[in-house]
């Protein structure tokens, strides 16, 4: 019986670890919050290639796509109530497709309203950040990837 309770506790702990808040990622990851519009007919383009995934990984960038269900390139998720809170805070009432870049320090670095994500501008913003420049110095082979 004691084994069963311990086993269930371990399983329960494992599942609860996937639900996080943005502050849990602070100083570990950059975050891209993507909000497709409920009001626009045209779908938001969010096509990820293997090369793009590598660039995201190189920059410690985790995305959360707030569509019909939450999609991420990580094992993390948000509780439904917290998802609504994040949308209210970062989507800021926008009726258009939008995305927000949050730096490792937890502050918003870029907000854009568009049908597509401008990956070049996003990566240029990240690569100009002081923390990212320090990362270049540690691993210079990743510059301009």
CATH code of residue 64: 3.40.30
Q: Classify residue 102: in a domain, yes or no.
A: yes
> CA nearest 105: which of 85, 134, 76?
134
Q: Classify residue 64: in a domain, yes or no.
A: yes
Q: Summarize the confidence of residues 88-98 as an average pLDDT.
A: 88
Confidence (pTM): 0.80
Q: Summarize the confidence of residues 3-18 as an average pLDDT.
A: 40
- Average per-residue pLDDT in the chain? 83
Q: Which long-range contacts (CB under 8 A, 24 or more apart) does 57-60 make?
A: 58/142, 58/145, 59/30, 59/123, 59/126, 59/127, 59/132, 60/28, 60/29, 60/30, 60/104
pLDDT in tens, 19-61: 999 999 999 999 999 999 877 667 777 778 999 999 999 999 9
Q: Classify residue 6: in a domain, yes or no.
A: no
Q: Classify residue 2: in a domain, yes or no.
A: no
Q: Classify residue 12: in a domain, yes or no.
A: no
User: What is the layout of strands, in order, in the sheet containing 61-66?
Assistant: 70-72, 61-66, 30-35, 98-102, 108-113
Q: Classify residue 129: in a domain, yes or no.
A: yes
Range of the domain at 27: 20-142
Q: How many domains does the chain have?
A: 1
Q: Classify residue 37: in a domain, yes or no.
A: yes
Q: Classify residue 1: in a domain, yes or no.
A: no
């Amino acid at each position: 019986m004691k084994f069963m309770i311990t086993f269930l506790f371990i399983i329960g702990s494992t599942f609860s670890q996937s639900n996080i808040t943005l502050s849990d990622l602070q100083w570990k990851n950059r975050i891209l919050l993507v909000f497709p519009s409920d009001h626009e007919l045209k779908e938001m383009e969010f096509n990820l290639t293997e090369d793009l995934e590598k660039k995201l990984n190189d920059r410690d960038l985790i995305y959360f796509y707030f569509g019909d269900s939450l999609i991420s390139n990580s094992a993390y998720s948000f509780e439904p109530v917290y998802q609504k809170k994040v949308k209210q805070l970062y989507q800021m009432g926008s009726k258009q497709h939008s995305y927000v870049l949050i730096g490792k320090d937890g502050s918003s670095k870029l907000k854009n309203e568009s049908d597509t994500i401008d990956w070049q501008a996003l990566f240029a913003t990240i690569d100009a950040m002081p923390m990212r420049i320090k990362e270049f110095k540690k691993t210079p082979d990743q510059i301009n990837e």
